Structure formats: C-alpha cells, structure tokens
Structure 1
C-alpha cells in the first residue's frame, strides 16, 4: 500500500520531530487517530501501528500488514486497551482524563509518549473551549512525574499555525533511551 504524502505532510510538526525516538521493535499506538495523519507517518517510517478511534471510517483505507485499525469506545466505563504494551504512543488533539494515567503504564521499557493537545486559554481562540478538553498548566509534566517518565521535551505555548491555539505537548520516555534513534533538533 502506498501512503499519501498529503497525509504525512499534515502530521503535527511536534510528532514529526520526536517520532524518530520511538524504538522500531514493538507496536505504536495512534490513540484517537482521526484521519490517520500520524498513522501514515509512522507506517512510512517502518513501524507496526495500532490505530484506534471511535469512528474509523477515515482510516480504514490505511489498513495493511503494518497497520491494524480498531474501532474502540475510548470514553466508556472500562479502558479498552488494558494490558496492551507499546513501544510508542502518539496522541494529538484528544484528552479524556479518566484514562490519562493508563498511557504510561502501556509503554514498554524505552517506550516513548508523544502527546499534544489544547491547553488552558484556548477558549480565547475558539474550540475546544470546554475545560474538560483543555490541559491544565503543567498537566502533562505532572503525568510524566507521577509515572516516572523522563521528559525529553515539553512546551505549554501559544501557536498561530495552523490556527491560533494554546497547546501543551510533551515527549517522554519510560526508563532508559536504549534503542532510540538520536534526535535531530532545530527543525
């Protein structure tokens, strides 16, 4: 299967920057994968991916030997990914606090969490504006701290592209960096 460059081109710059840190062995979870822009990026880099979302209609065409797709209720009473392990987890533009602490538990040793979503103050620029969908100041740092993840990079910033927004994002590793590709900074 050939993945479109358009999908990869719209991948988050934050995710593109840190995805090389994800170890090649094991599967990568694209949580709340939406249109599959990060699934396509991960597949282009040779990863095995589990792409999950409540509605998978936008990503079904990406299904391949390296991409498994599952429709899951990520906001039900039980965590649908319990006891699964991943070498990387990518989450963008999604927040459901009741299961946030489950993510670090699913990382294998050396696994990488790349998380980016809207933060407090975003209501000034439009949706999402509901505090339930906005990270509180330092919330991803607190998650990393209580989960014993090593923070590689963290930002809580205003972005003006692709549209004005307040965003919080983190790249963190469980345990040691063994097997990770050295990161290239500055781009």
Structure 2
C-alpha cells in the first residue's frame, strides 16, 4: 500500500477525537487505516470498496460503497470530527463537506490543480483545481489553518493544492 499523503501525515494530529472521521474516495484505504491505527473511528467511502474491504475486519473502520457523483450527499450536518479527501475532486461536494464537519472539526484536502498537465494525469481541467480554488471554496464556512498550492516532488512530481481547515466552534457573526 502507498504511503500517506505527506500533507495528510503532517496534519493528521489536528483531527480531534470528538467523532468519526470520513475518508472520501478512500481507494485502498491508506488514510483510513492510519486513522484507525491512531484509534479514530473512520467511515471510508468509495464507489469501489473491494480493495479496502480486502483488509478484513479493522477495529473502528466502517466501509460504505457509494458513488458520490451520482447520489445525493448521504451524511447529516455536523457528523464528523474530520474529513479527508486525497486525489479526488467533485466540486458539488464542497458545501456538503463543510456542513458535515462538527464545530471544531478539521478538513484535510489534497488534490491536483492546473499545471499538473506538465507531470501527467489528471490533465482534464474538470479534475484540476483553479489557482486558489480550495481556499475560496471554504473561506466562508471554515477557518484556514494551513494552505499550499504549487509543485511538489513527493510522493511523485505533481502540481497540487492542499488545505487544512477547521469549522469554527461558534457561527461567524455577520
């Protein structure tokens, strides 16, 4: 199994233990398994869960099979202490992600952005964030803790955008 995303590894400790963590488009489950090893409860969701299910019973892990691009957002507001998204982009999920976080909950998002065409796939602009897009998508609902966009060398050369953001404990007063 691949190593953790360096961004996720650097920010994993920010996720509180106040509720479950959602791993969106979990793939083989590298982040889900790391969270379970830290004794988080994890809901891993993907449209193909065969690879993660092959790990057998993992304490604290619940696996859901769902195509989030074809269905409505299945989670209630304030359901999660943390949400992780890596190498996946479906913009219609952005509002649901923010709403699904509990107050104090943390979103860790790491995916490709425009400029990645120089390195390989994905190349389709529909699957590449625009400059500043992640920060703008969550700026009204979450507090940015850390943010990066640009070229990275690890785990392989790519152009990426990453955010660590927290849902405020109290609603913003307008």
With the length of structure 1 as denominator, give the TM-score of the two structures: 0.85
Residue 60 of structure 2: aligned partner: 66
Tell whether the 8 Å contact from 1:73 to 1:80 is kept in structure 2 after alignment.
Answer: no
Measured in 2, the distance between the counterparts of 1:16 and 1:128 equals 23
Tell whether the 8 Å contact from 2:77 to 2:101 is kept in structure 1 after alignment.
Answer: no
Residue 43 of structure 1: aligned partner: 36
Q: What do the CA deviations read for 1:8-28 (whole angstroms, capped 9, x no partner)?
A: x70111101111111112000
Unaligned runs of 5+ in 1: 1-6, 178-187
- For residue 75 of structure 2, the aligned residue among 72, 81, 95 is 81
SS of equivalent residue, structure 1 residue 42: helix
Tell whether the 8 Å contact from 2:116 to 2:158 is kept in structure 1 after alignment.
Answer: yes
Q: What do the CA deviations read for 1:123-143 (whole angstroms, capped 9, x no partner)?
A: 111100011111111111112
- For residue 108 of structure 1, the aligned residue among 102, 111, 132 is 102
Q: Does 1:91 align with 2:85?
A: yes
State the aligned residue count: 169
Measured in 1, the distance between the counterparts of 2:31 and 2:132 equals 24
* Cα distance change on mapping 1:51 and 1:96 into 2, 3 Å: same
Measured in 1, the distance between the counterparts of 2:140 and 2:57 equals 35
Report the RMSD for the aligned CA atoms in angstroms. Answer: 1.7
With the length of structure 2 as denominator, give the TM-score of the two structures: 0.91
Residue 19 of structure 1: aligned partner: 12
Residue 162 (structure 1) shift = 2.5
Measured in 2, the distance between the counterparts of 1:66 and 1:49 equals 6
| Deviation beyond 4 Å, 4+ runs, structure 1 | none
* Cα distance change on mapping 1:72 and 1:82 into 2, 3 Å: farther
